[in-house]
């Protein structure tokens, strides 16, 4: 962005001043490309600039592509096995298969996955009640604390009861519910297993050599990091996941294609009645000038939240996959809603399909259009980044939860739950959008580039502060490691749009003359170059894993955290004949839950090599 800003301000801006079609030197239109006549020789500089930006951008992005984040120690040696049938869902059967199929390798551990969605909800509720109970015990000297079981204590203090007694009863009830659900979950493993080998090379060899469908219809891929997995979503089968994805993405497409866009709100303000015009005239000129931009910024900031929530409903197996898809959908959604459709003077993608008038392209080169996007980038740089630093949505949610608490004992839990993970997908999409807007308008409206550089600088500092001091740490693996590499590749969209609108400008001004043909030829060559050669870099491979691993890596396990946190409830019932997954007194790495009649479902059975190579009689979904 710095190189584009220097070229636009030092070269393009003085050239645009050479014309006389748009007002005098004090007007904004005098700085745009519309100020130059169609037969001006200075327009060759714009064509040369749109072509030279390609090699310069490739060199810079190769220099700044960085290195992929390295995987954790355990995930580098672990493979994920899915589509395991019910009769083979025990660790010894799975371990024996790999031992016979790959002689000489060492299988260190095998962990099965379980249905923990209901257990996760119950355990989360139990932890809230437990923390509130502890808070009441620690503040007994303050007197009897009250709670409103049926609503908000601030809104309806009538009917309040003793908080300590209430939380004690609720915790005891939830302890039994969590214990029963835990036993039920451990008795029904999913068709998913995590197999850990003795080295990273062994895991890579297994993934490369295994052919899908060759045995038992298993699917084997590299395993994500344990803390990157959404354990409660593993029970969603592929069939149900794709069904949810089709429904949710179809609804998003309908909203994008047929319904409202941020530009509709702006048009409502611009196409005002006489009474509304009188109201706007009474406002400050600064407010009336920036109000449409603020409205568009607010609407375009709300819609990515809708995309993010829709990805959460899709129940991705990993946080990295969720961030990756959120980045793609949010970026292209914002690209249409904020840049392409407003530039063409359209209000929806439906209007883009139905409109066949080539003169809509003339809207891009209007002086007012460039001024609108300059205001948009300024507002994003100064107000948007400030709101990200203030975390206004999180503060609003925090205040709303405080207003709805049942008792004062719930405040510590609310403060803890407000801490969330950094949404890489949304923030990458926003940064790419502003970069694309500034790059596309850098030649037609060069004054936008310094404010784009200001936005990227402020955005970098704000995101760095939030990642280090505000949000919880997040481990990126799998598709998450590709977020940065794919963001680098998305720079191609900005370059192609820049060359396209440059070519369309010459076509609208002078039809098919020499400059127009060269501009379109440059666009076609660049597009073919990107599509077939792909010069943009992938991030460099991660460095080899160091022998000095951290304590966190050493203690990582492919066990759902809810099974570990709920293991302390093993002695709640008076039945001591049960051993539990993750319990501190359980020396057996395998999982046995329930009584003897049910233990055969998970207890390992001796098998031989002939049994392993037999084809599976059927498979079941996770």
547 lies in a domain? no
Structural domain span for residue 519: 2-70+236-533
pLDDT, average across residues 412-416? 86
CA distance from start to end of the chain: 47
Is residue 334 within 8 A of residue 304, CB to CB? The reply is: yes
Of 533, 551, 582, the domain-final residue: 533
- 250-275 mean pLDDT: 61
Across the chain, mean pLDDT equals: 76
Q: Where are the alpha helices (DSSP H) in 189-273?
A: 200-209, 238-257, 262-270
Confidence band, pLDDT 50/70/90 cuts, at residue 452 = very high
Residue 556 clears pLDDT 70, i.e. is over it: yes
Give CA–CA dist 205/221, Å, rounded.
Answer: 11
Residue 26 and residue 146 in one domain = no
State the pLDDT at residue 69: 52
The pLDDT score that the predictor gives to residue 617 is 32
Check whether residue 248 and residue 330 sit in a common domain: yes
Q: Is residue 555 part of a domain?
A: no
Report the distance separating Cα 376 and Cα 283, nearest Å: 20
Q: Can you tell me the mean pLDDT for 128-136?
A: 89
Same domain, 250 and 229: no
Q: 544 in a domain, yes or no?
A: no
pLDDT, average across residues 152-156:
72
pLDDT band at 279 (very low <50, low <70, confident <90, very high): low
Chain segment 200-233, per-residue pLDDT in tens:
888 888 888 887 766 678 888 888 888 888 888 8
| CA–CA distance, 409 with 469 (Å, rounded to integer) | 26
Give the dihedral sign, CA 343/344/346/351. negative
Contact residues for 38 (Cβ-Cβ < 8 A; gap 6+): 506, 509, 510
95 and 193, same domain (yes or no): yes
- β-strand partners of 195: 79, 110
Based on the fold, state whether residues 319 and 198 are members of the same structural domain. no
Q: Which residue has the higher pLDDT, 269 or 562?
A: 562
Task: Say whether both 83 and 137 belong to one domain.
Answer: yes
Distance CA 421, CA 327 (A): 15
Other CB atoms within 10 Å distance of the CB of residue 87: 14
- Inter-residue contact 321 to 424 (CB < 8 Å): no
Is the pTM here over 0.85, yes or no? Answer: no
Between the alpha carbon of residue 502 and those of residues 37, 507, 515, 528, the distances in Å are 14, 9, 10, 18
Considering only residues 318 and 602, tell me which one the structure prediction assigns the higher pLDDT.
318
pLDDT of residue 361: 54
Strands of 87-245, DSSP E = 107-114, 146-147, 161-162, 189-197, 219-222
Q: Are residues 334 and 309 part of one domain? A: yes
User: Is residue 557, in this structure, part of any structural domain at all?
Assistant: no
Q: Say which residue, 436 or 352, is predicted with more confidence.
A: 436
Q: Compute the average pLDDT of residues 546-573.
A: 65
Same domain? For 93 and 230 the reply is: yes
Q: Is there a domain that residue 621 lies in? A: no
Q: What is the pLDDT of residues 317-368, one digit of tens each?
A: 888 888 888 888 889 888 887 888 777 765 555 555 555 555 555 555 555 6
Residue linked to tokens 């293991």: 567
281 and 406 share one domain: yes
Question: At residue 383, does pLDDT exceed 50?
Answer: yes
């Amino acid at each position: 962005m710095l190189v584009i800003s220097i070229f636009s301000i030092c070269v393009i801006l003085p050239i645009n001043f050479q014309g006389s079609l748009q007002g005098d030197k004090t007007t904004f239109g005098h700085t745009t490309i519309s100020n130059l006549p169609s037969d001006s020789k200075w327009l060759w500089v714009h064509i040369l600039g749109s072509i030279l930006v390609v090699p310069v951008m490739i060199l810079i992005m190769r220099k700044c592509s960085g290195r992929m984040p390295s995987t954790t120690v355990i995930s580098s040696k672990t493979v994920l096995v899915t589509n395991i049938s019910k009769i083979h869902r025990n660790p010894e059967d799975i371990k024996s298969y790999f031992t016979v199929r790959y002689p000489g390798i060492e299988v260190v551990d095998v962990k099965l996955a379980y249905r923990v969605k209901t257990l996760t909800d119950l355990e989360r509720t139990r932890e809230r009640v437990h923390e509130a109970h502890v808070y009441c015990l620690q503040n007994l000297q303050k007197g009897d604390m009250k709670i409103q079981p049926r609503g908000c204590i601030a809104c309806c203090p009538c009917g309040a009861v003793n908080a300590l007694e209430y939380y004690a009863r609720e915790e005891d009830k939830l302890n039994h519910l969590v214990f029963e659900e835990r036993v039920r979950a451990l008795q029904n493993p999913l068709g998913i297993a995590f197999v850990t080998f003795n080295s990273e090379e062994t895991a890579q060899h297994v993934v490369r050599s295994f052919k899908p469908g060759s045995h038992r219809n298993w699917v084997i891929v590299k395993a994500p990091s344990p803390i990157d997995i959404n354990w409660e979503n593993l029970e969603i089968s592929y069939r149900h996941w794709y069904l949810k994805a089709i429904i949710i993405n179809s609804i998003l497409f309908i909203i994008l294609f047929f319904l409202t866009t941020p530009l509709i709100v702006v048009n409502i303000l611009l196409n005002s009645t006489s009474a509304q015009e009188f109201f706007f005239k009474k406002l400050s000129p600064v407010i009336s000038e920036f109000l449409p931009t603020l409205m568009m910024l607010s609407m375009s900031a709300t819609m990515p939240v809708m995309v993010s929530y829709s990805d959460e409903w899709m129940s991705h197996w990993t946080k990295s996959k969720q961030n990756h898809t959120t980045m793609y959908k949010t970026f292209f959604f914002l690209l249409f809603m904020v840049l392409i459709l407003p530039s063409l003077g359209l209000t929806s993608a439906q209007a883009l399909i139905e409109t066949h008038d080539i003169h809509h392209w003339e809207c891009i080169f209007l002086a007012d259009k460039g001024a609108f996007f300059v205001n948009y980038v300024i507002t994003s740089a100064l107000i948007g980044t400030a709101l990200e630093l203030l975390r206004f949505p999180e503060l609003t949610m925090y205040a709303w939860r405080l207003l709805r608490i049942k008792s004062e004992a719930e405040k510590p839990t609310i403060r803890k739950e407000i801490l969330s993970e950094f949404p890489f997908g949304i923030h990458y999409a926003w940064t790419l959008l502003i970069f694309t807007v500034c790059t596309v308008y850098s030649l037609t409206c060069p004054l936008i580039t310094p404010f784009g550089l200001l936005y990227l600088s402020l955005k970098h500092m704000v995101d760095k502060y939030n990642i280090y001091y505000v949000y919880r740490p997040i481990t990126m693996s799998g598709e998450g490691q590709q977020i940065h590499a794919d963001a680098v590749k998305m720079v191609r969209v900005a370059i192609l749009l820049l060359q396209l609108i440059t070519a369309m400008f010459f076509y609208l001004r002078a039809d098919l003359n020499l400059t127009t043909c060269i501009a379109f030829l440059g666009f076609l060559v660049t597009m073919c170059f990107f599509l077939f050669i792909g010069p943009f870099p992938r991030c460099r491979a991660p460095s080899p894993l160091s022998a000095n691993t951290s304590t966190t890596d050493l203690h990582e396990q492919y066990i759902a955290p809810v099974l570990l946190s709920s293991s302390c409830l093993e002695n709640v019932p008076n039945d001591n004949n049960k051993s539990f997954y993750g319990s501190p007194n359980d020396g057996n790495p395998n999982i046995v839950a329930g009584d003897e009649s049910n233990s055969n479902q998970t207890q390992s059975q001796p098998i031989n090599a002939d049994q392993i190579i037999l084809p599976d009689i059927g498979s079941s979904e996770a």
